Structure 1
Amino acid sequence: MKTVLDRHGSTPQYFLQLRRFAMPIVQISLVSGRDEAVVKRCLKAVAQTVHETLGAPLESIRVFATPVEPAHWVVGDRAKDEPAPTSKVSQ
């Protein structure tokens, strides 16, 4: 079986062309319940930032948000749908 290098040689130009077509994919997980317009604005801003920092063509960038129910998101030992513990102040 021929490898990519066997077919195209080890020329840097070939790999530069591949990089140009690389498709950055950004996944953002967040607790559900945010305003759709705010999430859309965030996704577009992330795509623009990836374009500016990596130089990837904007049309090749994929950004998506995965909403997670608060009961399914745990920080430490507390789910996001549970009330925060009250701190006891010793006197």
Structure 2
Amino acid sequence: MAGAPSPSRSNPDRRSPMPFIQVTMSTGRTAQQKRDLLAALADAVSATIGAPREAVRAWIVEVDPAEVIAGGVILADRES
């Protein structure tokens, strides 16, 4: 129904059963850094929105620094 509030907005105690988080970052982090990041994300989501930690879905997409531009500069050019 158009204009009707979503169930989560009409009932603030209702929590999303499965939050999804995608992190996109350039390559170069260690496996441990990525594991730590994913664990911290799960903890943060659980603490802030009340989702069970087991329900949080998060993943990392890595991109080659040669394929990303920030501030007008290709990331690979910044690193060289």
Aligned residue for 1:88?
none
Q: Give the residue type in structure 2 aligned to 1:40.
A: R
Moved over 6 A (4+): none
Gaps of 5+ in 1: 4-11, 85-91
Aligned residue for 2:26?
31
Aligned residue for 2:42?
47
Contact 2:15/2:49 (<8 A) preserved: no
Aligned residue for 1:7?
none
The number of residues matched between the two structures is 70
Over the aligned positions, Cα root-mean-square deviation in angstroms equals 2.1
Indicate the structure (1 or 2) with the bigger Cα radius of gyration.
1
Gaps of 5+ in 2: 2-6
The 5 A counterparts of 1:7-86 are: 19-20=14-15, 22-83=17-78
